[in-house]
Amino acid sequence: MKLAFIGAGNMGSPMARNLLRAGHQVTVYNRTRAHAEPLREDGAALADSPSDAARGVDAIVTMLAEDQAVEQAVESFVETLARGAIHIGMSTIGVACSKRLAERHAARGQAYVAAPVFGRPVAAAAAKLWIVAAGPPEAIERCQPVFDALGRGTSVVGADPWLANAVKLSGNFLIAAALESMGEAFALVRKSGVDAGQFLEIINTALFNSPLYAGYGGAVAKEQFEPAGFKLRLGFKDLRLVQEAAESAAVPMPLAGVLRDRFLAAMARGEGDLDWAAIARIAAVQAGL
């Protein structure tokens, strides 16, 4: 396929590289051009704007940090993206934003498929992301070669694109809840004199047997929060989006409010650029550790 890729950050760069390796023709745009330059060696063309990147492509992928960045990019390329072309939105954005994007593209005769991903940069590099997709069935079918190049599986959750964003935000809420609960439990065992690494081995053998607990639990046990696979400030953004979606759907989520305050406390400590597992430090600090 002839593709454009907008966003060459920690996630976007390895994703664009995997599309190139799968044989797709890819034009990349990144606001900071230097971050996209290494992709030239893999065969990417570089564009000077999202609008330029979108000319003549079958589909355009966005992988950006927040709603505003995605909407600004769309406003740049929506007039040059061909009728019948597809915007594949792989960013973690709000439900309301996803609905606006679907309407904007429909008005131009374009398709919009929301396809946010679960996985950190190492999974992106290994093409082992899990993709949650929603949108018109025929458009999703056309996108499958893209998904196959990027991930180990795809879950299609409906014909309305925003459904995929609701799933992604709900998943990130569960991860944040796990991080907070690990922080509290690790603080308790550490203050009681039990080795944190041993505690992790016990719970992940006897209780969870989960890659999430193994990976994030290891970071919490070692207090190793750099380099950030997913920055804490982005987790804070996602919790705000969870609360917005919950309010719109009239779903009480009291724990989301607690988690947002924990993230805010970490942000106030200047830890926004650490990995979001660093919220575990708040429980440790409050425990006098």
Q: Looking at residue 256, which CATH number applies to its domain? A: 1.10.1040.10
Where is the domain boundary, 130, 160, 190?
160
pLDDT for position 281? 93
Same domain? For 108 and 38 the reply is yes
pLDDT for position 25? 98
Same domain? For 112 and 171 the reply is no
Portion of the chain with pLDDT greater than 70, in percent: 100
Average model confidence (pLDDT) across the chain:
96
Q: What is the mean pLDDT of residues 41-53?
A: 96
59-62: strand order across its sheet: 45-46, 25-29, 2-6, 59-62, 86-89, 111-114
Q: How far apart are CA 97 and CA 101, in angstroms?
A: 6
Same domain? For 150 and 176 the reply is no
pLDDT tier, 108 (very low <50, low <70, confident <90, very high otherwise):
very high
Please choose, from the candidates 68, 77, 66, 6, the residue with its C-alpha nearest in 3D space to the C-alpha of residue 39: 6
Do residues 1 and 146 make contact, with C-beta atoms less than 8 angstroms apart? yes
Q: What SS3 state is found at 255?
A: helix
* CATH number reported for the structural domain that contains residue 141 in this entry: 3.40.50.720
Give residue 150's domain range: 2-160
Do residues 97 and 70 make contact, with C-beta atoms less than 8 angstroms apart? yes
pLDDT tier, 261 (very low <50, low <70, confident <90, very high otherwise):
very high
Q: What is the mean pLDDT of residues 210-222?
A: 93
Same domain? For 140 and 275 the reply is no
Please choose, from the candidates 245, 251, 200, the residue with its C-alpha nearest in 3D space to the C-alpha of residue 223: 200
Q: How far apart are CA 102 and CA 108, in angstroms?
A: 10
Q: What is the mean pLDDT of residues 18-46?
A: 96
Among 168, 191, 222, 237, the active-site one is 168
pLDDT tier, 135 (very low <50, low <70, confident <90, very high otherwise):
very high
Give how many domains the chain has, as a whole number: 2
User: H/E/C letters for each residue in 184-250?
Assistant: HHHHHHHHHCCCHHHHHHHHHHHCCCCHHHHHHHHHHHHCCCCCCCCEHHHHHHHHHHHHHHHHHHC
Q: What is the mean pLDDT of residues 252-265?
A: 96
Place of tokens 């406003």: 75
Please choose, from the candidates 161, 142, 19, 227, the residue with its C-alpha nearest in 3D space to the C-alpha of residue 6: 19
Catalytic residue status for 2: no
Same domain? For 147 and 260 the reply is no
Same domain? For 43 and 56 the reply is yes
The model's pLDDT over 147-179, given as tens digits with 9 standing for 90+, comes to 999 999 999 999 999 999 999 999 999 999 999
Same domain? For 70 and 136 the reply is yes
The phi-psi region of residue 109 (left if phi > 0; otherwise alpha if psi is between -120 and 50; otherwise beta) is: left
pLDDT for position 234? 95
Where is the domain boundary, 115, 134, 160?
160
Q: How far apart are CA 168 and CA 180, in angstroms?
A: 19
